[in-house]
Amino acid sequence: MPEYRGWDIRLDMPQTKAQCLVLGAGIIGSAVAYELSRRGVRDIHVLDPDLEGQFSSTERNAGGVRHLWRHPINVELARHSIALFEEIKEEIGFQQSGYLWLFKKEESQTADDLLAHTRSMGVAYEKLSPSDIKQRYPFLDKTEDLSCGMFGAKDGLLNANALKSYFRKEAQEKGVRFHDRFRALKISKHNGGVRVAGEVFPDQKEAHAYLQAPSDTVQFEKQEWSAEVVILCMGAWSQTVDFQEEEPLDLKPIRRQIALFQAEGFDMTPYGMVVDTSKVYFHPEGGNILAGFVIKDEKAGFNFSYDPNFFEEHLWPPLFERSTKLERLKHVTGWGGMYHYTPDTTGILGKVPGWDNLIEAHSFTGRGVMQCYGAALAVADLVLKKSFSRFDAACLSRTRFRDPKQWLAETLHI
């Protein structure tokens, strides 16, 4: 953890008090504020460097949500989240158009094992033969290499920013206050509570500069908050906060690129998300098609650039090989966003070791949207009941990284 140059905690520094302080107003932080306020907590303040979220992972999310995971805790987080999405589908543009995951011929046994495992957890998926796939997705007409597909009818697509806005609106109506352009720097114990020291950016330009290239230099007005409980939900920026970790973790911000394109003479609107055997994923998006892909061995770091050759080198070839409808494509635009990788690509949630009133919920490795409300339910239990009650999320604690046998390696991560 860096030592902050120019940092000097002074007794005369502006201080503000709160019962509950949420650091980070992305999809996880906003969901936590929503759930806590819904359950009666009134003095909640949410702090974020940029509430508009131009560089947040929520803003740059692909919008897909699914139940299909190997680890039961990941299924549970998604199950509770998607149940809420169904209730508010009109507000967030949730379309349960399904998820189709394709498997190669040599992956036939893997698919069968996964289907049985998924059904054992009470998640409804069905196996599709290549002919079934062609019937349901007629544009997927190059299926010679496929053994099958797995289809989840209750999965689908939503507007991540509409979901975040929903959480914030509901929370604000119950008295939650959101504060813009605050950068948390140091968390410490203070008089039985928690003290958060940081700085306030003078404008959005400075906030954006920090988000793209976090620095340990303090340049602007310093401010302190004190609270009974603090919840750290800063996603890829969680490691920029000094809270004297007993066991620092190896967490990495990794760029993920997404492209938007058009297919000549083909409208994908009636269909949902497709995950190809190449691990290129794609779905309809506002009259276009959105697609993404994980570049193996992508260098860690805060990199929001978009490679001009990404679409032609990584997306077009596998799409061409999968469908005659995807042979003639026109690139529209693209962008880069942050995933925060844990050693096992599963999120971190729980009390920080050595703290009674510092809770963390971050680093969901690109699936914060589809697991946000489940995470919020677990955090709210820790705050209000001091333990998990609705479901047991203890396995998500950072303490699991002490023993590789307790890791939650998620092979269905894309």
pLDDT, position 14: 54
pLDDT, position 294: 87
Q: Give how far the C-alpha of residue 36 lies from the chain's centroid of Cα atoms, to the nearest Å.
A: 19
Task: Encode pLDDT of 355-393 as tens digits.
Answer: 999 999 999 999 999 999 999 999 999 999 999 999 999
pLDDT, position 244: 80
Task: Encode pLDDT of 208-243 as tens digits.
Answer: 999 999 988 889 999 999 999 999 999 999 999 998
Partners of 333 in beta bridges: 260
Low-confidence residues in the chain, pLDDT < 70: 1-15
pLDDT, position 13: 46
pLDDT, position 296: 84
pLDDT, position 4: 35
pLDDT, position 12: 42
